[in-house]
């Protein structure tokens, strides 16, 4: 089977790229290892803060979601590790209806896949496992457990442990943060008022994000050696209450906590001849800014634009064309990785005097409206 573009990985970022190429005139295949099963009972513990820019890029995939299960963020309150340092962002001050939306992974992916299944220029190959690939001058042959595909371009959207990245020989030397992100959902005793809360603590970074109704989602980055005791504690909700200063009152656990190891991964380039990487296959960053999936959507947006603007005669796997995509993404990826890495080092550090510096920094940003506005504009993209 011959295709212009084969996308390996049918998660949120891979699916978004496939949907964005609907009118491109390219023949597409989306290869995914697992059947997607959308469960509407209960709540998904994997949630994302989706920026307005990402929501616009997702188009019908965004509009088709169950919006009863989506919550807006209209305010953000960020605290240092002392009692007086606070940074606040407000959609009203920015002249916006909201700063972001909190969305369950399953809800959004279900909507994207429903659109994709009706896409005339795409073949969904699922479930399928990649086995081997071979380059030639005119394309790449990808062997699956259910047959072979030939493509002019293969896009790796297969996550942090990317098979395609490894097979293509990209040199990745990830650095562990020695931290794990614990995620869980709670019913809260006090209304969250569409506010996202975050605490930079000496022992980790804790965020409570608004969900529909009186519910919040936890993302708590802690030292990995402490994770097992936290997750297995019968008093987990009380521990989160204490760590968050009981800001939202009693927290009743509604999904079991899960842990995801955190690491930083940078690549010198996210393209090779006839291969491009997007999303977690291309970069890993600390989740403290809540921008990981938006970074992946911006990858997909940039690659979609490069492919759509290439001209009718140009090979979509042409290396100079892919280098254009690589250059377009370099600054954004490096900026996000550098910022989150520095913040993680700054706050999870016991060097004498550093506490004063980092909390002073928060207070200074709070007092500078132009800096806050610049940060908001970047987060909206």
For residues 6 and 275, what is the distance between their CA atoms, to the nearest angstrom?
Answer: 10
**Same structural domain for residues 125 and 253?**
no
Tens digit of pLDDT for each residue in 240-251? 999 999 999 999
The answer to whether residue 64 sits within a structural domain is no
Instruction: Provide CB contacts within 8 A for 266, sequence distance 6+.
Output: 283, 334, 337
**Same structural domain for residues 163 and 296?**
yes
The answer to whether residue 62 sits within a structural domain is no
pTM above 0.85, yes or no: yes
Tens digit of pLDDT for each residue in 208-227? 999 999 999 999 999 999 99
**Same structural domain for residues 244 and 300?**
no
**Same structural domain for residues 12 and 38?**
yes
The answer to whether residue 240 sits within a structural domain is yes
Proportion of the chain in helix, strand, coil states, percent, rounded to 5: 35, 30, 35
**Same structural domain for residues 256 and 286?**
no
- Contact present, 47 and 54 (Cβ < 8 Å): no
pLDDT for residue 311: 84
Which pLDDT band holds residue 137 (cuts at 50, 70, 90)? confident
Q: Are strands 215-223 and 204-211 parallel, antiparallel or unpaired?
A: antiparallel
DSSP state of 265: B
What residue ranges in the chain does DSSP mark as E strands? Answer: 2-8, 28-31, 47-50, 71-73, 75-79, 86-90, 100-104, 122-125, 130-135, 140-144, 147-156, 175-188, 195-201, 204-211, 215-223, 251-253, 258-264, 271-272, 275-277
- Contact present, 249 and 265 (Cβ < 8 Å): no
What's the chain's average pLDDT? 92
Which pLDDT band holds residue 359 (cuts at 50, 70, 90)? low
Whether residue 192 is preceded by a cis peptide bond, meaning omega within 30 degrees of 0, is no
For residues 218 and 264, what is the distance between their CA atoms, to the nearest angstrom?
Answer: 21
**Same structural domain for residues 18 and 144?**
yes
**Same structural domain for residues 169 and 223?**
no
**Same structural domain for residues 181 and 93?**
yes
**Same structural domain for residues 223 and 114?**
no
Picking from 347, 340, 348, 327, the residue whose alpha carbon sits closest to that of residue 375 is 340
The answer to whether residue 229 sits within a structural domain is yes
The answer to whether residue 331 sits within a structural domain is yes
Judged on CB neighbours under 10 Å (0-12, 13-18, 19+), 272 is middle
The answer to whether residue 224 sits within a structural domain is yes
Tens digit of pLDDT for each residue in 263-308? 999 999 999 999 999 999 999 999 988 889 999 999 999 999 999 9
Q: Does residue 371 surpass a pLDDT of 70?
A: no
Which domain range does residue 27 map to? 2-53+106-174+264-344
pLDDT for residue 290: 86
Tens digit of pLDDT for each residue in 296-309? 999 999 999 999 99
Q: Domains in the chain: how many in total?
A: 2
- Contact present, 155 and 168 (Cβ < 8 Å): no
For residues 156 and 162, what is the distance between their CA atoms, to the nearest angstrom?
Answer: 7
**Same structural domain for residues 14 and 119?**
yes
Tens digit of pLDDT for each residue in 22-81? 999 999 999 999 988 777 778 999 999 999 999 999 999 999 999 999 999 999 999 988
The answer to whether residue 113 sits within a structural domain is yes
**Same structural domain for residues 286 and 296?**
yes
**The token pair that represents 233 in the structure block:** 């504690």
The answer to whether residue 312 sits within a structural domain is yes
pLDDT for residue 169: 96
**Same structural domain for residues 44 and 181?**
no
* CATH code for the domain in which residue 276 is found: 3.50.50.60
Among residues of the chain, what percentage have pLDDT more than 70?
Answer: 95
Number of H helices, E strands in the chain: 12, 19
pLDDT for residue 372: 64
* CATH code for the domain in which residue 203 is found: 3.30.9.10
């Amino acid at each position: 089977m011959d295709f212009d573009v084969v996308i390996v990985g049918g998660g949120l970022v891979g699916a978004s790229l496939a949907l964005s190429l609907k009118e491109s005139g390219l023949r597409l295949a989306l290869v995914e290892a697992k059947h997607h099963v959308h469960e509407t009972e209960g709540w998904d513990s994997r949630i994302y803060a989706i920026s307005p820019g990402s929501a616009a890029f997702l188009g019908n995939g965004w509009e088709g979601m169950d919006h009863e299960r989506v919550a807006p963020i209209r305010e953000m309150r960020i605290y240092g590790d002392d009692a007086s340092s606070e940074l606040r962002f407000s959609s009203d001050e920015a002249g916006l209806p909201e700063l972001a939306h909190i969305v369950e992974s399953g809800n959004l992916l279900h909507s994207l896949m429903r659109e994709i299944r009706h896409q005339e220029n795409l073949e969904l190959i699922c479930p399928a496992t990649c086995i081997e690939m071979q380059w030639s001058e005119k394309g790449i042959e990808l062997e699956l457990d259910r047959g072979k595909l030939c493509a002019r371009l293969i896009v790796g959207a297969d996550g942090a442990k990317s098979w395609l990245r490894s097979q293509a020989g990209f040199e990745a030397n990830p650095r562990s943060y020695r931290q794990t992100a614990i995620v869980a959902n709670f019913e809260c005793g006090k209304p969250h008022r569409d506010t996202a809360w975050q605490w930079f603590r000496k022992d980790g970074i804790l965020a409570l994000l608004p969900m529909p109704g009186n519910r919040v989602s936890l993302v708590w980055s802690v030292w990995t050696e402490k994770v097992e005791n936290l997750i297995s504690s019968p008093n987990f909700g009380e521990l989160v209450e204490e760590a968050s200063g009981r800001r939202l009152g009693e927290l009743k656990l509604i999904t079991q906590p899960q842990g995801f190891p955190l690491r930083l991964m940078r690549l010198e380039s996210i393209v090779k001849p006839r291969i491009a990487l997007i999303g977690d296959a291309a970069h890993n960053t600390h989740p403290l800014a809540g921008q990981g999936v938006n970074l992946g959507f911006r990858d997909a947006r940039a690659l979609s634009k490069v492919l759509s603007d290439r001209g009718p005669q140009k090979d979509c796997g042409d290396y100079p064309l892919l280098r254009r995509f690589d250059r377009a993404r370099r600054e954004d990826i490096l900026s996000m990785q550098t910022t989150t890495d520095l913040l993680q080092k700054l706050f999870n550090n016991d060097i004498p005097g550093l506490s004063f510096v980092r909390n002073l920094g928060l207070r200074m940003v709070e007092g500078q409206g132009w800096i806050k506005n610049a940060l908001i504009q970047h987060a909206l993209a």
